Structure 1
Amino acid sequence: NKCGKRWHYQENNCHPLFLSLYVDKLPLSIRVMLEATIRNCDGVYTKEEDVQNILDWQQQQNKAEVPFSPARVLLQDFTGIPAMVDLAAMRDAVAKHGVDPSLVNPKCPTDLIVDHSLQIDFSKWSLKNQEMELIRNKERLQFFKWCSKAFKNVNVVPPDVGAVHQVNLEYLSRVVQLSDGFIYPDSVVGTDSHTTMINGLGILGWGVGGIESEAVMLGQPVSLTLPQVVGCKLVGSINPLTTSIDIVLGITKHLRQAGIAGKFVEFFGPGVSQLSAPDRTTIANMCPEYNATVSFFPVDQVTLKHFKKTNFTQEKLELLESYMKAVKLFRSYEDPSEDPEYSEVIEINLSSMVPYVSGPKRPQDRVAVGDMKEDFQSCLDEKVGFKGFHISKEKQEIRVPFLHCGQEYQLAHGSVVIAAVISCTNNCNPSVMLTAGLLAKKAVEAGLVVKPYIRTSLAPGSGMVTHYLSTSGVLPYFNQLGFEVIGYGCATCVGNTAPLPEAVVDAIKQGDLVACGVLSGNRHFEGRLCDCVRANYLASPPLVVAYAIAGTVGIDFEKEPLGVTSEGKEVFLRDIWPSREEVQQTEEDTVISSIFKDNIECSDSVVFPWDPKSTYIRSPSFFSRLSKELPQPQSIENAHALLFLGDKVTTDHISPAGSIARVSAAAKYLLSKRLTPREFNSYGARRGNDAVMTRGTFASIKLCNRFMGKPGPKTLHIPSGQTMDVFEAAERYQRDGIPLIILAGKDYGSGNSRDWVAKGPYLMGVRAVIAESFEKLHKNQLVGMGIMPLQFLPGQNADSLELNGKERFTISLPDTLSPRQQLSVQVNASFMSTHVNPDLCSTFQ
């Protein structure tokens, strides 16, 4: 280990052969944790008892708390910029105490990919979008460049290279790391829930919050309960018409129903060998959607074949294979004698998979493509909810005419107005992108078109994707259907779609239409893509193209044609769908690596030269009271509830990433800085400015606050009885010295990992969140910021305790805290009991 000691199974004096047999029983994902724990055993963060607990995984799973030190940290710019701003502010803080600021550096190697700032200003002009990105985000990019020079162990990947997960897969993954005289398995934690994509290459990794990532960057291991590992056995043969996206959604459904929240999933069985490396990363990407921690595919011959196509040298490949075999991290899926022991086994038959989409509001609501027309009709009928829009029968057949570019069109319920082909996360797989390209080619050759008012876009995950689409000859056909490359980075997924044509918006509003967006992304909550587009569906790239051509989601592809040619010939989807063999051959012939360049200028100073006029980068106030004494936990007295929330409050509700509304508190701040609404950019792009992000906390137009009668970023200032913006109310409470809490229901904080979902409430003065249950990642973020995540006792909630949210709350803390400890919370003159979440103790040690 790093102390220079040779660790051995000392407690039981085991023979090496017995120890080898003991390790053979462990799941391979646990073996990676075991190696990292032995190597980093320093007696401080990682102790010998931690190694012992991992070796005794069968008995200690779901019981022992163990540390894990990943090989590297992965940041995307939305969550990466506040982390780097914090580090820059730390340099300022230690410099004020007479300490050399250059000593503040990430200890763990950190890669930061600038990929979330791209906006679609021009749907048909990709270079112009890239130019606008550089102009709009100049201050942020200069700061990132400074970080890459000023900090040790920081690598910044500039914009227009690719989306974070694609870059991670193509450039940053190593499988085997070489450093400080050690050879060890690659592993990673990232500030994005879909970091799990890397599991498809046999690399252990998962998403953490920005606050946790900063701790890892500074040398602290991630702490987690030794997980149960569910073995997912894949059997059967894949249907030729089934894409990897269909397999993803099918596996997601099975695993969600299996109840595996917080567990590791490790795939095995003969069916795994049928999946390419991109197939595996696509499946691993959806891990957060069924609430597992990782979805691990151990390294095998298919993994080696994948890396032969990359920039791996023959020497690297030989080292990879020999090392992984030597430490028993390489396996053959065809040999059942190599199967480890799992906590439980779930068997999934691949031959049962059929094409699906997900929507209209949540990724878990799958709809078989063959049932899509009927399902959308039922969504119109059902009451407003996760699947319903409650449109009266007499209004369901409405058609609204409008003019676009001098030609008349009609919109109806189900009309597609946004169609985005995105090749990151669950659609980075080359096979589905080439299927979409070949479908576009056949559609153009058949004389089909996409209506010009549909906001179409093609956002490749990286330059490699554009390269193989171009080399395969399908890119011009994408262009002819309106799917032109708009740039590289997250756009539609994070709400950066350019405004729809005014005539389209007017028609939607006039008919109160349920217009639709179709995208090959992984997030599509209502109002996220565009506030006037109420129904959004996740679909594979070829189905995005198909629905764009059809112009509606209310179509039965089997019985109805996609369109009619100028000669009057009906063209069905089956007529232009490429065969699996055609796609595989094209993939084999065209998918190769590409390169990128770095061209951003910055300052060479040790501490960052903060510009007081900057509205993008600002030194936060977190370290203004920094001292050498460890702060102690303090009780909360006579707090008011800032918000009274219900179930399923997502991180989008808490800290939106999309556009900044012109009437919001953040807009008022930016207007005071003499910016025009066109210069507001997005919340995601301004995460380096705490003034904007605090004002943007709870600024979602879909926030349902029980103090209010309708959704919106408003709340009740209880002492005065006035209704005001959430930020303005919090600011007034702070001026009056009144601490704040938040009341919530089930699954508080689900969704993307964003550190501002904890930092924002903290700066607003929120000291505790009392909810029925928490999403684990968000719970950890609250703990990291010193906000108490308190949980009602089982069977209790705000309603059962007859709370209206207007009470005063006092939370008395004992001298010591322990996991799930019951606390007494005083509400006016009555009492209720809650228990603290299991990780709270780590905040106050």
Structure 2
Amino acid sequence: MAQSGADTLKTRRQLVVGDTTYDIFSLPAAEAAGLGSLADLPFSLKVLLENLLRFEDGHSVTVEDIKALAEGPAAPGAQREIAYRPARVLMQDFTGVPGVVDLAAMRQAMVALGGDPARINPLNPVDLVIDHSVMIDHFGSPDALARNTAREFERNGERYAFLRWGQAAFDNFRVVPPGAGICHQVNLEYLARGVWSAEENGRTLAFPDTCVGTDSHTTMINGLGVLGWGVGGIEAEAAMLGQPVSMLIPEVVGVELTGTLAEGTTATDLVLAVTEMLRRHGVVGKFVEFCGDGLDHLSLADRATIANMAPEYGATCGIFPIDAETLNYLRFSGRPAETIALVEAYAKEQGMWRTPGSPAPRFTEKLNLDLATIEPALAGPRRPQDRVLLSAMQDNFRQQALKGMAGIDTPRRQPVKGQDYELVDGAVVIAAITSCTNTSNPSVMLAAGLLARNAVGRGLKRQPWVKTSLAPGSQVVGDYLARAGLMAPLESLGFHIAGYGCTTCIGNSGPLDEDISAAITEGDLMVGAVLSGNRNFEGRVHPLTRANYLASPPLVVAYALAGTLDIDFASQPLGEDAEGTPVYLKDLWPSPREVAEAVQSFITPEMFQRHYGKVFEGSAEWQAIETADSQTYDWQADSTYVQDPPFFEGLTMTPEPVADITGARPLAILGDSVTTDHISPAGSIKADSPAGRYLIEHGVEPADFNSYGSRRGNHEVMMRGTFANIRIRNEMTPGVEGGVTRHHPSGEQMAIYDAAMRYADEGTPLIVVAGREYGTGSSRDWAAKGTKLLGVKAVLVESFERIHRSNLVGMGVLPLQFKDGMTRQTLKLDGSERFDIKGLAEGVTPGQDVALTLTRADGTTENITAKCRIDTEDEATYYRQGGILAAVLRQLAG
């Protein structure tokens, strides 16, 4: 909700665009009021500065905050806190359902506190796009989409009924039904405006379009000049309820782009190079902003592809300024003429408009990248920042995957039952053009179709063991591929549209053929996946694919033809044509001119307008879902999808005082780069896991388990799946993979969930200890919620990822960081220790030193000091209140 604040600096002005007069908070007026020249302020900070001007109230935002931001990006290590209020919130259904569950639970708790449940209502616009629930059960056939959609509704009826209730029960809350595409592409193509407007006291206020989202790849919208990034579901819920996002004035790393991409390279190749460069440089917790004349040669879809991958290079955002290309895309995607005119007029009036040749803004530091140096590449075999030049792929597979992960030099072979072929180490068993990073980009999607057409023309076929799928990010993609005549060749290679949503990249790849799975298991084969997504962490894509490579869509098609990672495309053919002539990748690759002509010829604004004109109505299946008309939700005791969470049980208006943590036992001791994909429940549910046993006890057959993501509205399932990833390595159980630990003092090995419940019965608090970059990955609220529900009181690590650290605070879990070079290894921890964390009862302040006493199994003790990673005063308030939701609920109830 837009609002005017105190306006101490008197910056409110009027902007006339066509027949409409808008009120704006003027940056030129702020300059005149004494803030000094803002011309060379980074674009992203101009957006933040306008936000502070608009919400200045003398309390949460002060004139001193505004002046501090106007001075420019933060110096390294600076700690100035500001309160930022985004215009809107974006959700996808995996992370959105638990958010709506929490809102429903807050309404229930408000009733218990004697308050009005209607006060629990989004104050800022919220859009939830159902895009994460479709799975690739069926593929390679004309009816794959229809069958997967039908199965999606069968699996998710309870969740969808709950969201239909929420759509009616809450104001300012819209749901985009299943089948429209992924939230990021729907945001880019339809929801975002570039400049937002809202009515206030009879006047129309215009201000930058900004958002936070419950998916880390919310940053994709940065390509449109919209400042947005991923936050935990907990933070997003607070933002919905009108709470500011507490943040530090960021460092802003500039990336100056020059030159043009060479023939044969794609936006995917560029983004993998950017990811590698920025991850190596170190931009975690920082803004990244792109500038330079290289922008003149990047389409907006190319920019969105780069912005999408900001979580992979570690930045809070990866933003591009507004310029003529921004307006071109708004026209291209069918936006109203009034919106386009407002974006242009507002950006120029506020000094937010980029012109070619303009000097670089004043960044904290600036890097340079010549687009002409980019080469075709992939990333893998298990991290998105590990770029591999296409020319070096065969060697990378052999060294990093075969030898490094499988520990062998010579590929092994295994017959496939009932087939006339064998599987070999390096076999590509999944080739997926999957949504998110690339499917928003027509150039790479059309390039894939053109390569498929050329391959079919030469008589090539996909290898029979490859599971192929095409999951576009919006229905517009299906339209233009069909109009270009490219769906037929894609389908002849098995790339039928299998769903419009987020699929393989998040583990919704569906099952492999049973005989292929059996051969992989029996031969212990090192098989792989090639996908056009952005995540390839261990155990994420599919439990049986241990080598997973990110690639452009045309390369995905190429690997489906080859059927193996163990190939050098420069010297080895993809196959032979009817005359027996070898066919190489270079023979099939479309020219840049051919791709550009296809983009110009086959995509029209009318396509976007037709598909988005009724986007909120949904299919007949969606409209047929029955739901109750009530302010509070009628929880069903027998539901295995949606349950009333225990976060507000026994909540009183006065929080319990913060206490020291005594006698805590390690639940897990983990290494470096433990991601939220390792911590948070994701992917398939095993029948013999704690979550599987729970579902079976509640009458659910294993065939109907669905995925963890689909059951995020049930805390009983999710807490059982926390730390249960099949590839997690707990140093308390050396040599064993998976979610197991050792209970102390008994020494028994058991599932992490079972140990946590035993500790709870014994009244023992828990701690998690880990290495560097703890919590990288997607913004998963359940990585923090599950940690909380397992009884973990503190997490002690060498360094945190931004979102997960914030989420831990939001759930009332204390984040601690080792100091002075101390680590779990220097302390020689084995999990038998007990921890006393002292001084909390005396007061919790941001960044304070915290005293820990370590008691070993032999009774000896050691005193160490850790840093409290509660970074801001608002976070300290949330921690004292037991978490952000409890704090907001008490505020609204009061």
Normalising by the residue count of structure 1, what TM-score does the alignment of the two structures yield?
0.96
Kept in 2: contact 1:286–1:426 (CA 8 A): no
Kept in 1: contact 2:276–2:386 (CA 8 A): no
**Superposition pairs of residues 532-543 of structure 1, within 5 angstroms:** 532-543=544-555
Q: Equivalent residue of 2:750, what SS? A: strand
> What does residue 380 of structure 2 align with?
359
* Residue 136 (str. 1) matches residue 155 (str. 2): yes
How far residue 504 of structure 1 moved from its aligned partner, in angstroms, is 1.5
Give me the whole-angstrom Cα distance separating, in 2, the residues matched to 1:20 and 1:581.
48
Q: Deviations over 1:774-797 (max 9, x none)?
A: 112111111111111111113101
Question: Where does structure 1 lack aligned partners over 5 or more consecutive residues?
Answer: none
* Residue 108 (str. 1) matches residue 119 (str. 2): no
Q: Deviations over 1:271-329 (max 9, x none)?
A: 11100010000011111111111111111001101111223222221122111111111
Give me the whole-angstrom Cα distance separating, in 1, the residues matched to 2:453 and 2:178.
29
> What does residue 887 of structure 2 align with?
none
Kept in 2: contact 1:665–1:696 (CA 8 A): yes
Q: Deviations over 1:483-531 (max 9, x none)?
A: 1111111221121222212222232233322111111011111222222
How far residue 349 of structure 1 moved from its aligned partner, in angstroms, is 0.4
Q: 1:463 to 1:380 in 2, by over 3 A?
A: closer
> What does residue 888 of structure 2 align with?
none
Q: Equivalent residue of 1:703, what SS? A: coil
> What does residue 398 of structure 1 align with?
412
* Residue 446 (str. 1) matches residue 465 (str. 2): no
> What does residue 397 of structure 2 align with?
376
> What does residue 657 of structure 1 align with?
682
How far residue 820 of structure 1 moved from its aligned partner, in angstroms, is 2.5
* Residue 127 (str. 1) matches residue 142 (str. 2): no
Among candidates 672, 681, 699, match of residue 674 of structure 1: 699
> What does residue 711 of structure 1 align with?
737
Give me the whole-angstrom Cα distance separating, in 1, the residues matched to 2:158 and 2:671.
38
- Which shows bigger deviation, 57-66 or 95-104? 57-66
Kept in 1: contact 2:536–2:550 (CA 8 A): yes
- Which shows bigger deviation, 564-573 or 660-669? 564-573
How far residue 6 of structure 1 moved from its aligned partner, in angstroms, is 3.3
> What does residue 96 of structure 1 align with?
112
> What does residue 314 of structure 1 align with?
337
Kept in 2: contact 1:115–1:159 (CA 8 A): yes
**Superposition pairs of residues 285-296 of structure 1, within 5 angstroms:** 285-296=308-319
Give me the whole-angstrom Cα distance separating, in 2, the residues matched to 1:634 and 1:165.
42
Among candidates 176, 185, 195, match of residue 218 of structure 2: 195
**Superposition pairs of residues 358-757 of structure 1, within 5 angstroms:** 358-379=379-400, 382-383=403-404, 388-391=405-408, 393=409, 396-404=410-418, 407-592=419-604, 593=608, 594-595=611-612, 596=615, 597-598=617-618, 599-600=622-623, 601=625, 602-709=627-734, 710-757=736-783
* Residue 8 (str. 1) matches residue 40 (str. 2): no
How far residue 655 of structure 1 moved from its aligned partner, in angstroms, is 1.1
Q: What RMSD over aligned residues (CA atoms) do the two structures have, in Å?
A: 1.9
> What does residue 340 of structure 1 align with?
361
Kept in 2: contact 1:379–1:390 (CA 8 A): no
Q: Deviations over 1:579-632 (max 9, x none)?
A: 111111111222241233323332211111111111101010111122111333
Kept in 1: contact 2:402–2:526 (CA 8 A): no
Task: Report the AA paired with residue 144 of structure 1.
Answer: L
Give me the whole-angstrom Cα distance separating, in 1, the residues matched to 2:378 and 2:388.
5
Q: Deviations over 1:314-368 (max 9, x none)?
A: 22211221111111111113333xx322222211100000100011111111111
> What does residue 331 of structure 1 align with?
354
Kept in 1: contact 2:74–2:252 (CA 8 A): no
Among candidates 35, 47, 62, match of residue 50 of structure 2: 35
Give me the whole-angstrom Cα distance separating, in 2, the residues matched to 1:59 and 1:497.
42
Kept in 2: contact 1:165–1:425 (CA 8 A): no
Kept in 2: contact 1:520–1:539 (CA 8 A): yes
How far residue 9 of structure 1 moved from its aligned partner, in angstroms, is 7.9
Q: Equivalent residue of 2:416, what SS? A: strand
Q: Deviations over 1:392-418 (max 9, x none)?
A: x3xx143333245xx401221211111
Give me the whole-angstrom Cα distance separating, in 2, the residues matched to 1:15 and 1:107.
28
**Superposition pairs of residues 45-84 of structure 1, within 5 angstroms:** 45-57=60-72, 62-84=78-100
Give me the whole-angstrom Cα distance separating, in 1, the residues matched to 2:437 and 2:594.
24
Kept in 2: contact 1:2–1:41 (CA 8 A): no
Kept in 2: contact 1:245–1:427 (CA 8 A): no
Task: Report the AA paired with residue 724 of structure 1.
Answer: M
Q: 1:591 to 1:21 in 2, by over 3 A?
A: farther
Give me the whole-angstrom Cα distance separating, in 2, the residues matched to 1:650 and 1:139.
29
Give me the whole-angstrom Cα distance separating, in 2, the residues matched to 1:397 and 1:251.
33
Normalising by the residue count of structure 2, what TM-score does the alignment of the two structures yield?
0.90
- Which shows bigger deviation, 758-767 or 791-800? 791-800
Kept in 1: contact 2:681–2:718 (CA 8 A): no
How far residue 381 of structure 1 moved from its aligned partner, in angstroms, is 6.0
Give me the whole-angstrom Cα distance separating, in 1, the residues matched to 2:825 and 2:246.
34
Kept in 1: contact 2:658–2:841 (CA 8 A): no
Kept in 1: contact 2:809–2:878 (CA 8 A): yes
Q: 1:468 to 1:196 in 2, by over 3 A?
A: same
Give me the whole-angstrom Cα distance separating, in 2, the residues matched to 1:164 and 1:59.
32
> What does residue 179 of structure 2 align with?
160
Give me the whole-angstrom Cα distance separating, in 2, the residues matched to 1:723 and 1:251.
43
How far residue 838 of structure 1 moved from its aligned partner, in angstroms, is 4.2
- Pairs aligned (count): 832
How far residue 380 of structure 1 moved from its aligned partner, in angstroms, is 5.1
How far residue 452 of structure 1 moved from its aligned partner, in angstroms, is 2.5
- Which shows bigger deviation, 542-551 or 13-22? 13-22
Give me the whole-angstrom Cα distance separating, in 1, the residues matched to 2:756 and 2:413.
45
Give me the whole-angstrom Cα distance separating, in 2, the residues matched to 1:291 and 1:674.
42
Q: 1:21 to 1:739 in 2, by over 3 A?
A: closer
Kept in 2: contact 1:666–1:692 (CA 8 A): yes
Q: Deviations over 1:131-151 (max 9, x none)?
A: 110111011011111111110
* Residue 809 (str. 1) matches residue 810 (str. 2): no
Give me the whole-angstrom Cα distance separating, in 1, the residues matched to 2:412 and 2:166.
55
Give me the whole-angstrom Cα distance separating, in 2, the residues matched to 1:163 and 1:381.
34
Give me the whole-angstrom Cα distance separating, in 1, the residues matched to 2:534 and 2:215.
12
Question: Where does structure 2 lack aligned partners over 5 or more consecutive residues?
Answer: 12-27, 856-860, 881-894
Give me the whole-angstrom Cα distance separating, in 1, the residues matched to 2:30 and 2:698.
70
- Which shows bigger deviation, 45-54 or 135-144? 45-54
Task: Report the AA paired with residue 402 of structure 1.
Answer: V
> What does residue 811 of structure 2 align with?
785
Q: Equivalent residue of 1:267, what SS? A: strand
Give me the whole-angstrom Cα distance separating, in 2, the residues matched to 1:741 and 1:754.
20
Kept in 2: contact 1:285–1:426 (CA 8 A): no
- Which shows bigger deviation, 71-80 or 419-428? 419-428
- Which shows bigger deviation, 178-187 or 506-515? 506-515
Kept in 1: contact 2:219–2:229 (CA 8 A): yes
Among candidates 230, 248, 251, match of residue 253 of structure 2: 230
Give me the whole-angstrom Cα distance separating, in 1, the residues matched to 2:851 and 2:339.
58
Give me the whole-angstrom Cα distance separating, in 1, the residues matched to 2:59 and 2:754.
44
Percent pairwise identity: 46
Kept in 2: contact 1:283–1:426 (CA 8 A): no
Give me the whole-angstrom Cα distance separating, in 1, the residues matched to 2:773 and 2:73.
29
Q: Equivalent residue of 2:153, what SS? A: helix
